[in-house]
A and B are shown apart, each in its own frame.
Chain A
Amino acid sequence: MSALQTFVEEGSATKMKHKVNDFSITVATVNGSGSQTANLTLLRALFKMGIPVSGKNLFPSNIQGLPTWYTIRVSKDGYLARKEEHEIVVAMNPTTFVDDLADVLPGGAFFYADDINYPINRQDVAAYPMPVKQLAKESGAPSDLRSYVANMVFVGVLSQMLGIDLDMVYAALNFHFKGRTKPIDLNFGVVKAAADWAAKNLEKSDPYLVEPMDATHDLIMADGNTAAALGTIYGGVQLVAWYPITPASSLPEALQSFLPMLRKDPEEEGKNTFVIIQAEDELAAIGMTVGAGWSGLRAMTATSGPGLSLMTEYAGLAYFTEVPLVVWDVQRVGPSTGLPTRTAQGDLTFTYFMGHGDTQQVILLPGSVNECFEFGWKAFDIAERLQTPVFILSDLDLGMNNWMTKPFVYPDVPMDRGKILWEDDLEKMDGKWARYQDVDGDGIPYRTVPGNRHPNAAYFARGTGHTIEARYSEEPDVWHDNLDRLKRKYQTARSYVPKPFVETMPGANVGIIAFGSTEPAIEEARHSLQASGTPTDFLRLRAIPFVPEVEQFINEHERVYVVEMNRDGQLHQLLTIEFPDLATRLVSIAFTDGMPLTARKVREMIVEEME
């Protein structure tokens, strides 16, 4: 029997038992119908009950009318990855009703709006009608709000049938509506009426229940884009220039709401220590960011694949003129417009080489919401220390979905503003300095910024060939030496970027390398592989350039599976380029279909490669 078969049969064997805190709920609705409030209420109520939970919005590129699904994973073991199996399905959308019903696992539960007139043609699921329209009407909600509160019907029915504490539902609504009693009471009234109705009219015939736990009390729930925005604010961001694009927009939008709260000047009352500009396009967004970084501001932009493509020329200029800035790339599926509302890790090689000619960029790879916060502030220290752009590759799943995560931690080190010279410094140096001179042998030169009034401070930054004094030059030696120094600087970057996260298992002789949002799926797959006799070690990469620990990890394992959400195995490509002698140990496990990776898929692909 193969390892894969074991996995599948284990799955089939357990599903007939009574199941507590271990299942997934999929809610099928129509995009734009206001179901997100109901979905988040369910997610938050479960979290508030102390049960590990994750929620993923699988939505179309559309404002209103197309089908959308929300999946909630409830896991007493703390597994947060998406599951392919649907134990509980809530059908609110007539268009997808037939497929939604077909998707329920045998023995699962199917809740449906009773105004949808399709036959329930399965005997192996527990089917529960819900009087959605009736209860929405009885709620007394004005007609324009009725379709929104209708979604609360499934919250109430599910709460009753699964055992979700209504007090926790209330707490979730209270949070969502920021304490405003009118909407809270309206929505909670529907929840309660629906729960009462279910208690009187439905008989439970499925095995799924929730029970309170104590696994989330020291955690918070947040999305990666909000976390990134907050981290950025603690990093002292001073200029944000951006252009709307899914799935990045909510990052600058979070900055827009939090900056006025956190970054009014403590000394000059009411004055701002920041600027945020919605630019005319991504070309201008990064142009402003480069300008601001050059003039000594902590500057950033946030975008996704198509925007990143547009930013390429400025990224090359910033690399070559040595301007610090931060670019958040919340990845979606490419190439081209691709799948704008689906997740992927497909921008890695593009970003690494971003720019024509010889270019190497510094990349940070956050793997959790908490890390989005941490890298949010850290990126500025790295960018200013190295005087180079820093790209942070998040993704739609991490950025837009709510995750439970450790609370945000205040930066534990003072800001590093890098090698910057002000009037006093130049005075001490008798005004003798050169912008691109490698004084310290680490490839990082010193810089001045506009506003420095020393008569020797100014220099003329240019994307053309330049001497150490920043003067135009076409001299072969000058060009060669400058490019060489940039290479040296990239070597220096290794000692400033975050080290990987490594987790080992006793007896493991194979390793897994991955990055970003795939960690939960990989962790779960590793536990399952271990249970079937294949322990693995795990390295989650957190930055490029690669640090020595990465080479060491590959060296210590006979085979290393490089798991990523793209077609071509981009991290595998970069590792192969970097460590050609170790290339035969590396096995690419690359898959992308727009959906967040599941443990089952990871395990399946690894097992297939092992055979």
Chain B
Amino acid sequence: MSEQTTSIGSRVQVNLVGLSKSDYRGNTSTLCQGCGHNSIASQIITACYELDIVPEDIVKFSGIGCSSKSPFYFLNRSFGFNGLHGRMPSLATGALFGDHTMRGFGVSGDGDTASIGMGQFKHVLRRNMRLVYIVENNGVYGLTKGQFSATAEVGLTLKSQGTNPYMPVDIAWEALVGHATFVARSFAGDPKQVKELIKAALSHDGIAVLDIISPCVTFNNQDTAMHSYQWGKNHEVALHELSYVPPAEEIMVDYEQGEDIEVTMHDGSVVVLKKLERDYDPTDRTAAMRILEEANACQCLITGLIYIDTSQPSLTEINHLTSTPLNRLPTNRIRPARETIQQINDMMF
């Protein structure tokens, strides 16, 4: 990080691409005070600033709901599209083909993903689109004032809604089963982990699902509710202490040989997973399934990098596109030459 003198003479801290943190900010949030989503937005800002990402290299996407408003509250200098309820994945898929050098950043909610958007969610996973897919998961519909979402735990009682009789959807589980190549779970009350996971996700060349428990302070924050701050604080079990090391930096993190796990990302960065209470290898799919089942059984909030596979080709890769972004190809590269028309007519009967 370096410093830069601005025109009015005050010294502003800037990163390697010469941008200050304010270059990553968005508009003032209109979400409730204390909303988990605001905390996630501020970690997105910090992660991008610290990663020296140029905001113009990111495209933001969202569906409909409180979560989907949040892309307006970070990265003002990035393009964004607030699409339709549950259908952010298809919008992002199409848009990211415009310029394959862009990174996609999608924000969704539990209603947007696990109810109306379940179909598109599952299909964007199997295509391995290069997209960070954050689910700000709070168990309720906030914008329509407190109805149950599909991730609400069975037995949850909400004011004016009664008691939820249905089993919940587990987003991390769905992502894993759906062949997502990066699955993480975190908690808005654990900002450092959120930030490090966002950095790792941005380095992943494929779909990166972050199921972040993000409490709704207005409709679902009672201490006994599984999406509340208090419950998260009391029940969080981190799988590891996670640090992201950018490609250029030497690994300086203090770790014990043979115990901690390093995952090298596509861009050369390394995710170091420092062992906590147990051995956990996030490249082991069976172990990932087991840990999610155990989390359900013990009613604990398992957080961290649950699964990663850096070997799968991304959707843009399998399409063998030109190195020039598709949306910059001039006419002569997208309209076949004049002489081909005779050939085509000859192919007809």
- Chain A residues with CB under 8 Å of chain B are 44, 47-48, 172, 175, 220-222, 226, 230, 233-236, 238-239, 241, 262-263, 265-268, 270-273, 275, 277, 279-281, 283-299, 313-314, 317, 321, 402, 407-411, 414-415, 448-455, 457-464, 471-472
B331-A234 in contact (CB<8A)? no
Query: What residues of A have a CB within 8 angstroms of the CB of B123 in the complex?
Result: 279-280, 284
* Interface segment, one of B32-40, B87-95, B290-298: B87-95
B82 on interface, CB distance cutoff 8 Å: yes
B71-A449 in contact (CB<8A)? no
Query: What residues of B have a CB within 8 angstroms of the CB of A286 in the complex?
Result: 90
A299 CA to B348 CA, complexed, in Å = 25
B54 on interface, CB distance cutoff 8 Å: yes
A295-B334 in contact (CB<8A)? no
A270-B334 in contact (CB<8A)? no
Q: Of A175, A284, A296, A407, which is within 8 A of B90 by CB?
A: A284
Query: What residues of B have a CB within 8 angstroms of the CB of A172 in the complex?
Result: 349
A295-B341 in contact (CB<8A)? no
B31 on interface, CB distance cutoff 8 Å: no
Query: What residues of B have a CB within 8 angstroms of the CB of A263 in the complex?
Result: 334, 336
A211 CA to B331 CA, complexed, in Å = 47
A294-B331 in contact (CB<8A)? no
Q: Of B98, B119, B322, B341, which is within 8 A of A271 by CB?
A: B322
Q: Of B94, B99, B321, which is within 8 A of A289 by CB?
A: B94
Query: What residues of B have a CB within 8 angstroms of the CB of A233 in the complex?
Result: 336
A458-B78 in contact (CB<8A)? yes
A451-B328 in contact (CB<8A)? yes
Query: What residues of A have a CB within 8 angstroms of the CB of B120 in the complex?
Result: 280, 283-284, 287
B323-A47 in contact (CB<8A)? no
Q: How far is the CB of B54 from chain A (nearest CB, A)?
A: 7
A221-B80 in contact (CB<8A)? no
B349-A271 in contact (CB<8A)? no
17 contacts between A and B (CB under 8 A): A48-B349, A235-B335, A239-B97, A265-B329, A267-B324, A268-B323, A281-B119, A296-B98, A297-B98, A297-B326, A317-B84, A451-B99, A451-B328, A453-B57, A455-B56, A461-B82, A462-B82
Whether A449 touches B98, Cβ cut-off 8 Å, given contacts A271-B322, A291-B90, is yes
In chain B, residues 297-349, which have Cβ atoms closer than 8 Å to a Cβ of chain A?
319-329, 331-338, 340-341, 344-345, 348-349
Q: How far is the CB of A577 from chain B (nearest CB, A)?
A: 29
Whether A452 touches B56, Cβ cut-off 8 Å, given contacts A220-B349, A292-B95, is yes
By size class, the interface of chain B is: 35 or more
Q: Of B82, B127, B326, B334, which is within 8 A of A460 by CB?
A: B82
In chain B, residues 166-218, which have Cβ atoms closer than 8 Å to a Cβ of chain A?
none
**A423: nearest residue on chain B (CB-CB)?**
B56
B255 on interface, CB distance cutoff 8 Å: no
Query: What residues of A have a CB within 8 angstroms of the CB of B59 in the complex?
Result: 295, 450
B335-A277 in contact (CB<8A)? no
Q: How far is the CB of B122 from chain A (nearest CB, A)?
A: 8
A287-B94, A291-B83 known, 7 other contacts, Cβ within 8 Å: A221-B348, A238-B329, A241-B94, A294-B81, A449-B98, A450-B327, A453-B57
B102-A450 in contact (CB<8A)? yes
Query: What residues of B have a CB within 8 angstroms of the CB of A472 in the complex?
Result: 72
A236 CA to B328 CA, complexed, in Å = 12
B82-A463 in contact (CB<8A)? yes
A294 CA to B91 CA, complexed, in Å = 9
Query: What residues of B have a CB within 8 angstroms of the CB of A415 in the complex?
Result: 331, 334-335
Q: How far is the CB of A406 from chain B (nearest CB, A)?
A: 10
Query: What residues of A have a CB within 8 angstroms of the CB of B97 in the complex?
Result: 238-239, 275, 291-292, 295, 297
A190 CA to B262 CA, complexed, in Å = 69
Query: What residues of B have a CB within 8 angstroms of the CB of A238 in the complex?
Result: 97, 326-327, 329, 334
Query: What residues of A have a CB within 8 angstroms of the CB of B334 in the complex?
Result: 236, 238, 263, 273, 298, 415
